[in-house]
Structure 1
């Protein structure tokens, strides 16, 4: 088995998971999650985590292992990924990282700033002030304490302003200072092959719309209702997963289910557009490949790889996915 890892990225709903599972089956590899929302155990349906049957076909790691109450970060994911990567190498398994979170892949291959963990009491204090005083007041405070970060952030970016203040309060240093002292990458150049699936955009957006509707029918609303009942901080990452805020608004009686679904579909399409842009500009080392050509690409980077199922088969990327199980899944 090659010691190189394979990185499979792409926009949501492009067929990444099916390709990764096929590759893992044929190589004895392990599929490692690189999606920042699929880490949350509370959100299987609405984040399109692999189904129970799919997880049983090949080893899956870092899926659904984090509680929604946790403010899980890229740094936390890198620490977990390091353990899984070491385990896969010890077992002589191919590591197959799959997902759409550009920051995770950038941290994996470029390294990450060395910001230490933030104490819970500091985070809770900043969030309490944010609720009490408003985002403008906190941005003004950040401008006094960390003017470089304040200048970089939009004045109403609640999440990032809170994060920058948390770092200053917890460490006495600005985010800019910490960014100068990076952690090394887990996968330096030469230790991985990287693919970005590039589906036709009109087909992709149509698939996103269809899958979001199927997701609602498959239990996403009940899943979100369970999350809402926990009354967690709305700034937590899990509370901002695509579709979650709109479905919570519906559960509160503010909008209809049809309106919530329309917002969820639109948010997911916009996210897919941002993924195309982000990977093209931030991670040029990823090779852009059409889904139907992904098998051919793999033959060039995996010794002994033979092309997978026909592009029109049920489990191949960008298939019509008409089976009940596949159609019920949300965009991955």
Structure 2
């Protein structure tokens, strides 16, 4: 969505983050044409003729995000290539294979990446471009770094001819690829051209341990890889390489502006060199790409302490799940808890602009800067540090302005714009009608849903969408009994491995993602089959969910103040007067939910319990394709006991150890946090709840088996006791699941007993479906 530039526009938000100064509560940003006039707090003054004031409500207004390093050529990929921890050289081979196989128009691929970037609040981007790639129009500012490679001196002249042609473009940059593909003569020529034309240079450097080995002695996996491509057949030196990254840094420092991409394995001397040359050299950290290869810990705190300019990039979808720069920033906040949150914000805005040589135009909300803005929804809570509301959150980017134009316009909040409340609040799925053509297969844990689901999907021409709240989490594979690799290869699966264990995921987020995926599957001419055992998700898909009015922070503060004035139980007493049903189920000390219930009543004039009941009416089973596997209790319990024992044989305890080692805090760091209540590192800050406690988020902790395995590793009980406890809790879970299913009129129960043959069960379901 786009709009014409008003003569004067004032945007208001719960917080404004100028970046060059502290966050401003109840702030505003004034834009004239394509420039920022002012940013501050309080009354914006008298509205003049032609001026537009827009208040999206509970949002943060940030400078447009700056992605300093991307490879848009891979934007059509659904997932990174290979698997986490893949060797770097093996991954490069997959990249080359992908380039050979892909038939999609490069213009379409790049357009996908640009569109995704805008949706993620990115307004400026540094892209590594290939020769002869067609230009693509976009509201983003794109600095195009031409990739240059020459393994031998005889190819340097040809590459430099292309380089000299490329630098005639606006916002051009050059990218001598990496030490293992760039002859020193090419690097020297590129740096000299950069200085002469005042353009930036970006080079992948110190990206992997294999690269360092190749620099050191010309051997290792890189030599074998290059020889396999036909280079160095005579046994001579493939590239007249330098001995270490420092040699490259010294040459890059003479460029007009140099971006050291990745820098995963820079040593202390090299980091100090970057700090000493921070005015014209930057390092670009790509956090989730770094994690994909399971590299050694990134020296981020050392870099910041040395004064280095650390920008942020997403890399390409060949090594990262998406192009969301905000998600990269949130990943850093979790992985590096000792780094100040305001520094992380600068990495994704001001430092990215500095890396691209654009800090005079973009990267902050200072007066005179270009009106590039990212609007981020905020969670419904308060925080001592407002940055936590951005980074300790899963709320999305809801708006994006490029040069003062709303390319994604946020919807206004009813709580601030004075919109009239409506008694009935329609759910996002229109009471499940958005999923009427979908199929559903559910059942209790250990009932065989995954195997039957694959057989059923083959028969109906479907793709599978996981209906399991725990399958969302990466690294939690054994304990959640995810579909096997073979099953996932045979039928496309969705909504598996999409978030980290320490992240939270709500029903609303699941329903929204499912709507989008189901529409995409339908667009491919295939059916959607939901498979999993989370009854709450099933109910949300079938009947919709209650969202309620948006947060009204002034009202919430008033209610909190009244509670403090009149006593601790005032909120509960007030709710009892207007909504006895909600008061009966809420604890008097649950102030957050009490305030929300009162807020809904004051905004709509209706009790939240009344509104929620709108979504409790189901359809007859004869109208639905919702099938539940139903085992006799004794047989199901036996399957559960075997399942739990098999999980431990498969390595559940080792899986939990890996989670503890690679979570937001390592075991050693967690011990220090519990000892002194402060995260390690040179930039201490108050810890969030997830940093103080388990690596598992509130929602991930609901997965039976992980909390118990952690307690076993902490010495609270032995292995036999742990297995028995998990078996008992899993049986209890199965009982709760079946209670939920029996309460949904849409469900058809498929009796299963004795020998388990998934294909036969799928055929029975097909027969039942003919009666729908």
TM-score normalised according to structure 2 size: 0.33
1:236 equivalent in alignment to 2:698: yes
Q: Quick one: which of 238, 241, 245 aligns to 2:707?
A: 245
Specify whether residues 297 and 262 from structure 1 end up closer, same or farther in structure 2 by C-alpha distance, changes over 3 A only: same
Structure 1 distance, partners of 2:496, 2:483, is: 8
Q: Please list, as runs of the form range in 1=range in 2, the aligned pairs for 1:38-77 lying within 5 A after superposition.
A: 38-77=471-510
Separation of aligned partners in 2, 1:267 and 1:170:
37
Tell me by how many angstroms 1:56 deviates.
0.6
The structural deviation recorded for 1:261 is 1.5
Report Cα offsets for 1:253-281 as digits up to 9, x if no partner: 1111221221111110111111112211x
CA-to-aligned-CA distance 1:47-103 (integer Å, 9 cap, x gap): 111122211111001112122222211111000100111011111212111111111
Could you tell me how far apart the structure 1 residues matched to 2:570 and 2:487 are? Answer: 48
Question: Of 5, 13, 17, which aligns to 2:446?
Answer: 13
Structure 1: distance between partners of 2:492 and 2:514: 14
1:283 counterpart residue number = 744
Residue 64 of structure 2: aligned partner: none
- Structure 1 CA distance, aligned partners of 2:595 and 2:548? 11
Query: After the TM superposition, which residues 135-284 of structure 1 pair with which residues of structure 2 at under 5 Å, given as runs?
Result: 143-144=572-573, 146-147=575-576, 148-153=581-586, 155=587, 161=590, 164=593, 167=596, 175-176=608-609, 179=612, 192-228=624-660, 229-230=663-664, 232=690, 233-234=693-694, 236-280=698-742, 282-284=743-745
Q: Quick one: distance in 2 between partners of 1:103 and 1:84?
A: 19
Q: 1:25 to 1:118 in 2, by over 3 A?
A: farther
**What residue ranges of structure 1 are gaps of 5+ in the alignment?**
120-136, 304-332
**1:191/1:287 CA distance change after superposition, 3 Å:** closer
Q: Comparing both chains, which one has the higher relative contact order based on Cα–Cα distances under 8 Å and sequence gaps of 6 or more?
A: 1
How many angstroms does 1:39 deviate by? 1.3
Contact 1:209 1:265 in 2 (8 A): yes
Aligned-residue offset at 1:37: 1.1
Q: For 2:574 and 2:500, locate their aligned partners in 1 and report how far apart those are by CA, in whole Å.
A: 32
Secondary structure at 1:112 match in 2: coil
Q: Which has the larger radius of gyration?
A: 2
Counterpart Cα distance in 2 of 1:202 and 1:219 = 26
* Aligned residue in 2 for 1:295: 762
1:163–1:189: structure 2 CA closer, same or farther, 3 Å change rule? farther
Task: Kindly indicate whether residue 521 of structure 2 is the aligned counterpart of residue 113 of structure 1.
Answer: no
Counterpart of 1:314 in structure 2 is: none
CA deviation vs aligned residue, 1:144-189 (integer Å, no higher than 9, x gap): 5644434214x59x9xx5862584699787853763676999x998
Question: Does the 8 Å CA contact 1:197/1:294 hold for their aligned counterparts?
Answer: no
When residues 63 and 167 of structure 1 are mapped into structure 2, their CA distance, relative to the original with a 3 A threshold, is farther
Match of 1:88 among 516, 521, 537: 521
Shift of 1:249: 1.0
In 1: Cα distance, 2:475 partner to 2:724 partner:
22
Structure 2 segments unaligned to the other structure (5+ residues): 1-435, 553-566, 666-689, 754-759
RMSD of equivalent CA atoms: 3.4
* Greater strand content: 2
Instruction: Specify which of 530, 533, 536 is matched with residue 103 of structure 1.
Output: 536
State the 1:117 CA deviation: 8.1
Name the structure where helix makes up a greater proportion of residues.
Answer: 1
CA distance, structure 2, for counterparts of residue 141 and residue 15 of structure 1: 49
Deviates more, 1:41-50 or 1:188-197: 188-197
Does the Cα contact within 8 Å between 1:30 and 1:59 map onto a contact in 2? yes
1:114/1:181 contact within 8 Å kept? no
Helix, strand or coil at the partner of 1:227: helix
Corresponding residue number in structure 1 for 2:462? 29
